[in-house]
Amino acid sequence: MKQLILTVIGGGSTYTPELVEGIIKGFEVFPVKELRLVDIDEEKLNIVGSLVRRMVESSNVPIKLSLTTDRKKALEGADFVVSQIRVGGIRARIKDERIPLEFGVIGQETTGAGGFANALRTIPVMLDIAKDIEELTNNAWLINFTNPSGIVTEALLRFSKVKTIGLCNVPINFFYRFANILGVDISDIYLDYVGLNHLSWVRRVYCRGNDVTNKILENVKDGLSQKERGIVELINMIPNSYLHYYYFKDEVLEAQKSSERTRGEIVLEVEEKLLEKYKDESLKEKPPELSQRGGAHYSDAAVELMKSIYLDRRDIQIVNVMNNGSITDLPDNGVVEVPCVISGNGAMPISMGRLEPFIKGLAQTVKYYEQLTVESAVEGDIKKAKQALLIHPLVGAKAVAEGLLEKILEENKTFLPQFFGR
């Protein structure tokens, strides 16, 4: 069995111990002989890297760990690359949350004007990474967790040749949640799941081949407010929680306006505490506090995906891939989040057919926004950037006309070589 080199870009992330835990556990069937963490923040890399080293050593697996700030060195000969970077760090994320609010629109790191700014910063960096992967590896797989995951994956698939699969932990969390409701294993579940990353709907839930949608819907509705319940009843599907931003835009905006701290500001604090924790030399495993950070089952999603590729398992996982006709109503060359067969030759989407008329227009509109955003980010095209914001359901004409884009560009200047030159 071929032994593997796995490179984690953004390896200094506090999430890394979660991923490493999965790799250690899966070593028997997915034998990583070399684990390379690379990051531009040397301090964080060392803190996180030390914990990872202790984790590896306390386990019995012969994984060789290396920490480096030299991306090219880290990529050389890699078989799998996991990307979990955040361009501009949490401080840029906080801007993504704060700037839109000044213009009366929702601020969020992956969707709306905030996610848009994030995409503009991130896409050029990811395409640089892709170039390195093309040059330095033997056709390695790139597992992209970097947000906004769907948009970044589309940029990679349209503008590089790297074999990329986009990942998010929302789908796997649906599996765990529904399996838990039903008292079964996640492998018993199949989801008829359609849409885009952070804009998806579970249309039907099957357990061992039986349609258990109604049972799941009843359970899901129990945890909702009356208004939310109304929507779920109306569409008879389980919406991705990010759809809350779309269905309850005004309420979310009010809540954000009246909130003292943004999610990014809270995360900043959590991260600092986590890093303190990580420094504790007696800590030899992922600390429980990490769960507050979000990202549940992130490790499972990544490791299961890589395992299925490596072992040619041909099981079904929900990932981000080129649509290529899977959802009839979305463009062939747009990335979608759908159930795929994961094999040694990649992720093959299942034919999901047509979207229902009451979800179709939203999915289409956001997909066009995403495509304009990708093209704008690659070409440095300000007109397309404005058009992207104009059509985004959470932004629109008002924000465009009043200088939101200008402010975003200005505040992210150092990260936007495509608009300002290097």
By CB under 8 A, name the binding residues for a copy of itself.
104, 188, 190, 206, 208-211, 226-227, 230-231, 234-235, 247-251, 309, 312, 314-316, 324-326, 328, 332, 341, 343-345, 348-354, 357-358, 360-362, 364-369, 371-372, 383, 386-387, 390-391, 393, 396-398, 400-402
Of 355, 112, 365, 369, the residue nearest 235 (C-alpha):
355
The label of the residue with tokens 């985004």 reads 392
Which of 135/211 has CB closer to a copy of itself? 211
Shortest Å distance, C-beta 350 to a copy of itself: 5
Shortest Å distance, C-beta 338 to a copy of itself: 9
Which of 41/356 has CB closer to a copy of itself? 356
Q: Could you please report the per-residue DSSP string of 5-52?
A: EEEEETTTSTTHHHHHHHHHHTTTTS-EEEEEEE-S-HHHHHHHHHHH
Question: What token pair was written down for 393?
Answer: 């359901």
Which of 136/395 has CB closer to a copy of itself? 395
Query: Which residues, at least 6 apart from 390, have a Cβ–Cβ distance to it below 8 Å?
Result: 396, 397, 400
Q: Using CA atoms, how far apart are residues 33 and 210, in angstroms rounded to an integer?
A: 41
Determine which one of 15, 193, 242, 310 is catalytic. 242
Shortest Å distance, C-beta 380 to a copy of itself: 17
Which of 66/365 has CB closer to a copy of itself? 365
Shortest Å distance, C-beta 63 to a copy of itself: 23
Q: Is 242 a catalytic residue?
A: yes
Q: Using CA atoms, how far apart are residues 76 and 40, in angstroms rounded to an integer?
A: 17
Q: Using CA atoms, how far apart are residues 177 and 207, in angstroms rounded to an integer?
A: 13
Which of 38/238 has CB closer to a copy of itself? 238
Shortest Å distance, C-beta 13 to a copy of itself: 29
Question: What token pair was written down for 339?
Answer: 């159930």
Of 300, 263, 272, the residue nearest 14 (C-alpha):
272
Q: With residue 409 as reference, give the H or E element that holds it.
A: helix 404-411
User: What residues act catalytically?
Assistant: 242
